[in-house]
Amino acid sequence: MRIIIAALGALGIGAFVAFLLMPQRPAPQARFPELRGKVAVVNFWATWCPECVKETSRMVEAHRKFSARGYETIAVAVRDQPARVAEFASQHALPYKVVLDESGEISRSFGNIRITPTTFLIGRDGRVLRRYVGEPKWDEFDRLVERALEN
């Protein structure tokens, strides 16, 4: 029994690593027409997620730093309460679009997101440049955004 569980675990880890290492692939067409032609971040988060709350100030900072150059941020709240999301967005004066994924449709279109935070950095051409599970390494993130904005 342990061997079967270990084999299934190895397959899951292998699939996860393969997904992360895949060549750039198109981002899902998830009702975000305002992202076309921009470098964008789609961040899956929740108000009940401590790591998500922690990274919010850095997401705001990145948005303010890059938005004048064609950078857009969309925060997709998952498995959350509308009132809590609205209150959080107001209290933190989020300068970017916040959407509530009540049906799970957006999460499914991005690969059935189950872990928060999960962040996608998308290039002007609509291709996923990087997927972060957990908080990004911000120095690397900033370098990738800079490079994408130059193209």
**Total domains present in the chain:** 1
- Asked if residue 79 is part of any domain, the answer here is yes
- Asked if residue 140 is part of any domain, the answer here is yes
For 107, the domain range is: 25-150
For residue 77, the domain's CATH number is 3.40.30.10
Output the pTM of the full model: 0.80
**CA 106 – CA 6 distance, rounded (Å):** 31
pLDDT digits (tens, 9 = 90+) for 25-72: 666 655 577 788 999 999 999 999 999 999 999 999 999 999 999 999
pLDDT digits (tens, 9 = 90+) for 60-110: 999 999 999 999 999 999 999 999 999 999 999 999 999 999 999 999 999
- Asked if residue 124 is part of any domain, the answer here is yes
